Structure 1
Amino acid sequence: MTEYIQMILMAILQGVTEFLPVSSSGHLTFLNEIFARIGMGRIEEPVTLTILLHFASLLAILFYYWRPVLRMAMGNDVRLLKLLIVGTIPVGVVGMTVKLFFDEVFETLCTSVQLTGAMMLLTAVLLILAQKMSRRDPHEMQKNGLRRNLKTLSYLRAFLIGCVQALAILPGLSRSGSTITAGLGAGLKRQDAGTFSFLLALPAVGAASMVEILKLFKDGPGDSLNLLPLAVAFAVCFIVSLLSLSLLVKILRTRCIGYFAFYLIPIGLILLFL
């Protein structure tokens, strides 16, 4: 029963924090540390669980953005598809390099509470920067040729946003927060930056999730993870992720994400000095 409680709590936390720019991986590390300190014991394979929960969140993206995904699949929005492919190259290169040469080191980093805290503080800085950029005069940006949308975003800028996403494999550095900030820096409006950020997660995190899922079914969950609690957590995470994504899209329509920095700063400091 304890395992079910832990998995469900992790799933709810992942679903809530995946799309809000507060770093889902950082919160999962934080919760796992709490489990250990209150005597419930850590989840022994947090990377496997994290990737599976990310896959549930990706299904929520597919469900929410089914129209643009279908347009790309039918060949009706080839340019957006190309932008996403270009934006995925950096994380693909970094991910393969880490998997082939630094897999054990990366798993150790993912459990580092101090690194997670430091990266959450960096996320807070990025969100404050995003807040500042979102206040730029749109008419002045349009006049100076700085305002862009998903139809005019260049491949170079898509690649640079992808480079920022590649850095977000570090625990505690919010993928959505960093890529939305990069999108704003590239001249996108808040909604377009959010849309590109979420769609950019599909190929990158989707590929990593599929590799982990295939590995799980090939090798079995082992002694530390059982499939039934994982399946329950997966379903819970999908539902909560869909609600969280809907909330952030509404937030981006009316205000920027910089206010989340004031939440991340104290959490990051707590983790940094644990």
Structure 2
Amino acid sequence: MNLLEAIILGLVQGITEFLPISSSAHLIIVQSMFDMSFDGFSFEILLHLASVLAVMLYYRQDLFNIIRGFFAYFTNRSSENRTMFYFALYLITATAITGIAGILFKDYISATLKTPTFIAISLAVTGIFLILIERVVRHGHRTERELTMWDGIFIGLAQCLALIPGLSRSGTTLIAGVFAGLSKETAVRFSFLLSIPVILGSSVLAIKDLRSDALLAQTGLLELSAAFVITFIASWLGIVFFISLIQRSKLVYFALYCFVIATLVFLFRDSLTIDHM
């Protein structure tokens, strides 16, 4: 992998990770277009860690408040601490559900549904649901103070669907949150904060595949550094961009984009490779 390829993959991963358009589908398309490849999961782990670092820094104050409130609740059961305690509890619940599903079904899903045709269908389905929550479903107004355990369970179950190739993690959790009656702002916040333990957890599960010596030999320190930095910057910009658009009710743009990408994936399905998704 040369420097340009590392930059391109970092840019694609960063921009698409937190948008409801499936980062996995985009990595497949880009790798096929430029005939890129990399062995094992080490490079993918690196990119995901750069993305999670971006969301952790962006929501650093929220993370601090949640962690502080969670532990403070044991000695001071104020309204604010209670909100943060249960917010953290619901994040943990959703993460646990996804983690169990990932351990049980990820290999099976990847082996049976990892095809360009199914990825195209998944992207189209994402687009349909984005239009539904933008144009059809009545928007809820519940904030983090009104979250319930059922919200955590429902969003966690929806996030399990992102194990299916072509379905976006951020998209499924956002759609589930809005369908559950949360305000879009609360649904986005919960979705992004939920990405932290999920991405870190999946990276830990894949740590056995992380071979730093082999990764350096195959890719090079300059290329790895560039990919990490580009992914971090692009992830940050993707978060800011998405929050800005959702505040102006522009989810339909992402829906239309999903339809376009779904069509392209389906039309060129015979030329797409999916060995490294």
Q: Secondary structure at the match of 1:168?
A: helix
Check 1:6–1:109 CA distance in 2 against 1; reply closer, same or farther (3 A cut): farther
Alignment of 1:1-274 (within 5 A): 3-36=2-35, 42-45=36-39, 47-74=41-68, 75=70, 76=81, 77-98=84-105, 102=107, 106=110, 112-133=115-136, 136=138, 147-213=141-207, 215-217=209-211, 220-221=214-215, 224-226=218-220, 228-274=222-268
Q: Secondary structure at the match of 1:25?
A: helix
Task: Kindly state the Cα deviation for residue 83 of structure 1 after the two structures are TM-superposed.
Answer: 0.8
Would the aligned equivalents of 1:52 and 1:213 in 2 still touch at CA under 8 Å?
Answer: no
Task: Kindly state the Cα deviation for residue 165 of structure 1 after the two structures are TM-superposed.
Answer: 0.7
Task: Kindly state the Cα deviation for residue 232 of structure 1 after the two structures are TM-superposed.
Answer: 2.1
Would the aligned equivalents of 2:42 and 2:209 in 1 still touch at CA under 8 Å?
Answer: no
Deviations 1:31-70 (A, max 9, x none): 011012xxxxx31337543343222111111111111101
The CA distance in 1 between the partners of 2:86 and 2:136, in whole Å, is 26
TM-score, normalising length: structure 2 = 0.83
The match for 1:39 is none
Would the aligned equivalents of 2:162 and 2:168 in 1 still touch at CA under 8 Å?
Answer: yes
The CA distance in 2 between the partners of 1:3 and 1:213, in whole Å, is 24
Check 1:107–1:216 CA distance in 2 against 1; reply closer, same or farther (3 A cut): farther
Check 1:120–1:235 CA distance in 2 against 1; reply closer, same or farther (3 A cut): same
Q: Where does structure 2 lack aligned partners over 5 or more consecutive residues?
A: 71-80, 269-277
Task: Kindly state the Cα deviation for residue 24 of structure 1 after the two structures are TM-superposed.
Answer: 1.1
Check 1:86–1:56 CA distance in 2 against 1; reply closer, same or farther (3 A cut): same
The CA distance in 2 between the partners of 1:167 and 1:34, in whole Å, is 27
Deviations 1:148-185 (A, max 9, x none): 22111211121111111111122221111111111100
Task: Kindly state the Cα deviation for residue 118 of structure 1 after the two structures are TM-superposed.
Answer: 2.0
Would the aligned equivalents of 2:20 and 2:254 in 1 still touch at CA under 8 Å?
Answer: yes
The CA distance in 2 between the partners of 1:260 and 1:46, in whole Å, is 31
Would the aligned equivalents of 2:87 and 2:147 in 1 still touch at CA under 8 Å?
Answer: no
Would the aligned equivalents of 1:123 and 1:173 in 2 still touch at CA under 8 Å?
Answer: yes
Task: Kindly state the Cα deviation for residue 237 of structure 1 after the two structures are TM-superposed.
Answer: 0.3
Task: Kindly state the Cα deviation for residue 226 of structure 1 after the two structures are TM-superposed.
Answer: 4.5
Amino acid at match of 2:133: A
Amino acid at match of 2:23: S
